Amino acid sequence: MSDTAREERKQREKEWIRKGRTALGIEFGSTRIKAVLIGEDFSPLAMGSYSWENRLCDGVWTYSLEDIQTGLQDCYGDLAAQVETEYGIVLKTVGSIGISGMMHGYMAFDKEGELLVPFRTWRNTMTAQAAEELTALFEYPVPQRFSIAHLYQAMLNKEPHLEKLDFLTTLAGYVHFKLTGEKLAGVGEASGMFPIDSGTCDYDGELLKRFEALKEKSGGKYAWKLKDILPKVRAAGEPGGVLTTQGAEFLDRKGNLEAGIPFCPPEGDAGTGMAATNSVAERTGNISAGTSVFAMVVLEKPLSKAYGEIDLVTTPAGAPVAMVHCNNCTSDLNAWAGLFGECLEAFGRKTEAGELYDTLYRKALEGTLDCGGLLSYNYVSGEPVTGFSEGRPLFVRQPGAALHLADFMRLQLYSALGTLRLGMDILKKEQVKIDRLLGHGGFYKTPEAGQSITAAALNSPVTVMETAGEGGAWGMALLAAYLKQKSGNETLEDFLEKKVFAQAKGSTVAPREEEVRGFEAFMENYRKGLAIERAAVEAF
């Protein structure tokens, strides 16, 4: 781009920012809160971020309300400061805003808006009995992460806070409420709380009745009805309220942002991943790989039966989606990378995180295709797909196996996808068709490494778009832009395909036969070795 073209571009961007012809997406991830401001052409103008970590308090994985507000304000403040530095403009308004967060979990409030128990995140595996009983009652898969599983488990445990319960929501729903005063959830987010009827784009009425009957039998004295305490459901493109004066204060610590900005419905990270990868049409799929890993495929027809390993959720427009969700992906890999970085520091070599990860991921591509007798489980927390309520990160090698960095790093990438592969095998047996599979998330930042490993693991071509690094916050910004820029009855599918991704570029890696065989050999050991992981949980 010439200097003249660059300056013209800059002036257009300034005009978009001044006149609020932008969209802002904010996503609360497991380890990072990220904000992205996009222009009329959907490209990022500024970004902000804030690092945070969940805490294990009294056996519950949680974040405090103070963590949430501080993270939101610091993340937005980082973005606003970048706008001022890059464009010389104090950010006072944007065209539309969308909030996203880790799906599922349990945030329960009373009538005064007080949190009744600490936020129970998706990572908790304390609802096995509830999930099993609800799956049987609904004849519909209810995983432990679903909000309804947390609610029913609290009923089984006769937790006293239920008598005061007035509102049940998710992380994204809570932040949206604080900013707009509206108790809403996008349909994709809502599908991780309670089963959705895609025909009505609302909670399944028949299953609501079944739950109410179950509640009556439970003997608890609860004045509430489930439909009344759940957030209202909205599909992509429908209004989600506006930024209130109190909401502006909650978001912008400096007080520059003006009230009245429209919001789209809050969505979960699954929905923003679908938007960010243009995977909302039938027979499209995407894999989001970061702290957790999940694969989602938009279905042409229902599965033949309920599977405990397969969640059923929806796109942000309400279309049915089969989801394989695994609690663990890169956390253990990150820990090993940190150890190697610490080792380098001990020798006087300070290495930036990007260089460290790129070097280690590229080294993995040099490793033996079956990992040379090494085995690893990345179970930092429990893993419902394989039936673990707790996890123990574990590395094992056969006595004669050589310990080389290349094999070890290939093992870590394999291990990050091992549980996902077990779930995807079920969809293969169901003959679910996938025309396009796109990867996004930190696992795919190093060119080809995570992509080629995924292609081998699933024996399928995997595409990574140039925009994949933008992540869920960008996907949320796209959903916010759809609220303002859609034409008439234009569907989300058409909006993304024809406007956002029409000129998008990406790279596709096809599976290589020898790498597929190598991953198959690894999986043979992986299945057998689950007994070792189980013994580790019981013994340590």
- Which residue has tokens 């009344």? 228
- The pair phi, psi for residue 166, each rounded to 5°, is -125, -25
| Structure tokens belonging to residue 478 | 């796209």
d(CA 482, CA 477): 9
Residues whose CB is less than 8 angstroms from the CB of residue 345 and which lie 6 or more positions away in sequence, other chains included: 351
Q: Give the 3-state secondary structure of residue 264.
A: coil
Q: Evaluate if residue 469 carries a pLDDT over 60.
A: no
The pLDDT assigned to 213 comes to: 95
Does residue 185 contact residue 196 with C-beta atoms inside 8 Å?
no
The pLDDT assigned to 306 comes to: 84
Question: What pLDDT band is residue 23 in, cutting at 50, 70 and 90?
Answer: very high
| Structure tokens belonging to residue 413 | 């990438």
The pLDDT assigned to 441 comes to: 81
The pLDDT assigned to 465 comes to: 83
Does residue 149 contact residue 134 with C-beta atoms inside 8 Å?
yes
d(CA 507, CA 171): 34
Q: Give the pLDDT mean for 335-358.
A: 96
The pLDDT assigned to 363 comes to: 97
Q: Evaluate if residue 446 carries a pLDDT over 80.
A: yes
Does residue 181 contact residue 247 with C-beta atoms inside 8 Å?
yes
Strands 293-298 and 320-326 turn out to be antiparallel
The pLDDT assigned to 225 comes to: 96
Q: Evaluate if residue 443 carries a pLDDT over 80.
A: yes
Q: Evaluate if residue 467 carries a pLDDT over 70.
A: no
Q: Evaluate if residue 75 carries a pLDDT over 80.
A: yes
The answer to whether the predicted template modeling score (pTM) of the entire model surpasses 0.85 is no
| Structure tokens belonging to residue 371 | 């990992």
Question: What pLDDT band is residue 2 in, cutting at 50, 70 and 90?
Answer: confident
Question: What pLDDT band is residue 347 in, cutting at 50, 70 and 90?
Answer: very high
Does residue 509 contact residue 453 with C-beta atoms inside 8 Å?
no
Q: pLDDT over 90 for what percent of the chain?
A: 84
Q: Give the pLDDT mean for 275-293.
A: 90
The pLDDT assigned to 307 comes to: 87
Helical H segments across 219-253, by residue range: 226-229, 245-251
- The pair phi, psi for residue 426, each rounded to 5°, is -65, -45
148, HSE (Cβ side, Cα atoms, 13 Å): 33
Range(s) within the chain of domains with CATH label 3.30.420.40: 9-265
Question: What pLDDT band is residue 4 in, cutting at 50, 70 and 90?
Answer: confident
d(CA 447, CA 194): 38
CB atoms near residue 116 (< 10 Å): 20
Please name the fold of domain 9-265. Nucleotidyltransferase; domain 5 (3.30.420)
Model confidence over 103-158: pLDDT tens digits?
999 999 999 999 999 999 988 889 999 999 999 999 999 989 999 999 999 999 99
The pLDDT assigned to 470 comes to: 62
Nearest to 178 by CA among 115, 120, 122: 115
Q: Evaluate if residue 479 carries a pLDDT over 60.
A: yes
Give the CA angle between residues 335, 52, 533 to the nearest 5°. Answer: 35
| Structure tokens belonging to residue 227 | 């439909």
Average pLDDT, the chain: 94
d(CA 291, CA 329): 5
The pLDDT assigned to 125 comes to: 85
| Structure tokens belonging to residue 170 | 């998710």
Q: pLDDT over 70 for what percent of the chain?
A: 99
- The four Cα atoms 105, 464, 301, 327 give a dihedral, to 10 degrees, of -30
Model confidence over 305-319: pLDDT tens digits?
888 889 899 999 999
d(CA 528, CA 396): 13
- Comparing 440 with 246, the larger pLDDT belongs to 246
Give the CA angle between residues 502, 505, 506 to the nearest 5°. Answer: 130
Integer CA distances (angstroms), 522 to 255, 369, 377, 427, 519, in order:
55, 8, 12, 20, 5
